[in-house]
Amino acid sequence: MAISNQQIAQQAVKRLQEWIDSQPQVPVYKGRINKTVICQKLNISKSSIGSNKKLKAMFNDLESNITSYKVQDIKGERERQLQKKVDSLEKQLALAKKEINVLKNRIAINDYLLETGRMIDA
């Protein structure tokens, strides 16, 4: 059975209310609530905020009371995660470089042995 637009709008309001009631970590971006992330999370079309007055009021209310919620800065989090990844990759790179140097040294020692018959005492 097809659902009417009105029902969709009501369900969206219901989902947002339930989510607000659950005292969630509110995603923010540059100090404002991140509507895109919230809408994605609750399966609400972002464009419906403009057409659904209740939804719009709820978001405005959330915005003005943001200090009473725990916030989650998505971009900052992503940056932290990326930095973590960079650190880990840098560590891996340093290890790989070290390993390459060890192998290069081993090759040089081996080549020197073939060239001169002399062993380099490590």
Partner 1 sequence: MLNHPAFSNEQEQSRTITGLIESKYYANDAIAVMKVSLGRENVKAVLAYHSAPEAEAPQIGEIWTFTGQDETHEKYGEQLIISESFRQHPSGILLIKYIHYHIPGLGITKARRLWTVFDEKLYHVLDEGDVDALIDKKLGNLPLDIANMAVEKWRNNKIETETVRFFQQAKLSTSLAIKSLKFYGKDTIPKIQENPYRLLAFASFQVIDKRARECFQISMHDSRRMNAAVSAAVYKAYDAGHTAITEKDLIQSVKLFSELSKQEAQQAINQAVADQTVVVSGENHYQGRGQASMEKFIARKIVRLLCITATKQPAYHNQKLRTDLLAEFEQLNDFTLNKQQIQAVKIALTHRFALIQGTKGVGKATCLLALHHQINSDNGITVQVALSAHVTKRITEVTLTQTITIDAFFLKVSEEPLPDHVKLVVAEASMIDVPTMVKLLRVLPDTGSMVLVGDSRQLPPVGPGLIFHTLSCIPNIIPTVTLTQVHYSGIPSAAQSIALEQKPVVAPFDKTLSIDEQIGLYHIPASPHDISRTAVGLRYFIRNWGKVQIIAPTISLCDDINIQLHNSYRSDNEGNIKPLVRCTKSIGLGDMILCTSNLHNKGLSNGSLGQITQVFESAVAEKSPDGEIELYYAIAEFDGQKISLSASDFANIKLGYCIPCNKAQGLEFERVIIALPDSTLLDNSWIYTAITRSKKQAIIIGDIQTFYDHCCEPPTAFNRYIALPILLEDSLDGKIT
Q: Say whether residue 1 binds partner 1 (CB under 8 A).
A: no
Q: Say whether residue 21 binds partner 1 (CB under 8 A).
A: no
State how far Cα 31 lies from the chain centre. 17
CB of 108 to partner 1, least distance (A): 6
Instruction: Tell me the two tokens of residue 20.
Output: 């607000």
CB of 99 to partner 1, least distance (A): 15
Instruction: Tell me the two tokens of residue 39.
Output: 């809408």
CB of 113 to partner 1, least distance (A): 5
Q: Tell me the backbone φ, ψ of residue 30, rounded to 5 degrees.
A: 50, 40
Distances, alpha carbon 115 to alpha carbons 26, 60, 120, in Å:
69, 79, 12
Q: Which of residues 50-109 bind partner 1 (CB under 8 A)?
A: 105, 108-109
Instruction: Tell me the two tokens of residue 51.
Output: 């057409």
CB of 47 to partner 1, least distance (A): 43
As a whole number of angstroms, the distance between CA 13 and CA 6 comes to 11
Nearer to partner 1, 21 or 115 (CB): 115
Residues of the shown chain interacting with partner 1 in the complex, contacts defined by CB under 8 A: 105, 108-109, 112-121
